[in-house]
Amino acid sequence: MDSTRRQSAPPEPMAQWELADETVVRSTAPARRTREIYTLPGEIATEIRRVFLGTAYMRDKTVDNLTKAAEAYDRHRYEEALRLAKSVADLVPGVAAVRELAGLSAYRAERWNLAKAHLSAHFTITEDPEHLPVVMDCDRATRRFRAVEKTFEQLEQSRPSAEVLAEGRIVLAATWADQRRYADAIEMLTRAGAAKTLRNPGYRHVRLWYALADVYDRSGDHSAARDLFARVVVADPDAYDAVDRLGELGAFDAPRKNRKRRHTPVSKKKVD
């Protein structure tokens, strides 16, 4: 990947395509784990059957291919998922869920242009901006910086949720940092609340902290970067590569959360 894509917290696709699960089969024989049969959400299969033009055999095969694509995505086999989902999108291009899965598979496979095409189509069909930050990151990956800014303007006008807007800001800040526009990136993230200290931060806040820390690090303000990466680690020690980034900045002991003294003996603590 291009060295300018140093930031290791890319947008998180928000679609619920990871649906498969494992169940435990109970019997008199020793238990063994087996995988459920994967099925598409009923409304998606119904929509494909409704708009498909062709024989009943090909219609059922198309549904089956999208089912296999969704399972491949769930199993992190993104190239396979993309190949299958794209074949379905070619047949039913107006089904939003098909475009969504093809776009997310392409994004995970780092096929930026394909991802942008399918996710832009998803937005056109649904007017739902949830994947516009991913579209922005695709343009960032191919260094189409002006396109990133235009999509962010589109995102702001689409009444996004706070989480989606935060993802868009993260990508825009990283894009500006790629162009050494560090002051612009820092100002935007700070106005968005990324510098605030919170006692109980949510997922969105941790991602904004990480994004601001990354920009400070790239700008050469290692002290500010160290403080923010430490804040990320306190909130979530497993978040991204924050512990490694702290080590690179000379903070070799990961900070710990301040814990209040317990007044109830551990042995008497209520266990749910």
Gap between the terminal Cα atoms of the chain: 45
Give the pLDDT confidence of 172-204 residue by residue, as tens digits.
999 999 999 999 999 999 999 999 888 888 899
Give yes or no for a contact between 13 and 134, defined as CB atoms under 8 angstroms apart. yes
**pLDDT > 60? residue 216:** yes
CA 228 – CA 246 distance, rounded (Å): 9
CATH class, range 182-257 = mainly alpha
Architecture of domain 38-127: Alpha Horseshoe (1.25)
Residues across the chain:
272
User: Domain coordinates of the chain in residue numbers?
Assistant: 38-127, 129-179, 182-257
pLDDT confidence of 238, banded at 50, 70, 90?
Answer: confident
Q: Using an 8 Å Cβ cutoff, are 99 and 130 in contact? A: no
Secondary structure (3-state) at 33: strand
- If one compares 185 and 244, the residue with the highest pLDDT of the two is 185
**Residue whose pair of structure tokens reads 């002991």 in the numeric block:** 253
φ, ψ of residue 194 to 5 degrees: the values are: -70, -15
Fold agreement (38-127, 182-257): yes
Mean pLDDT score, 134-159: 98
Distance CA 194, CA 208 (A): 5
- The model carries a pTM of 0.81
Per-residue model confidence as pLDDT tens digits over 102-140:
999 999 999 999 999 999 999 999 999 999 999 999 999
C-alpha distances (whole Å) from 147 to each of 41, 116, 135, 151, 171 are 34, 11, 9, 6, 12
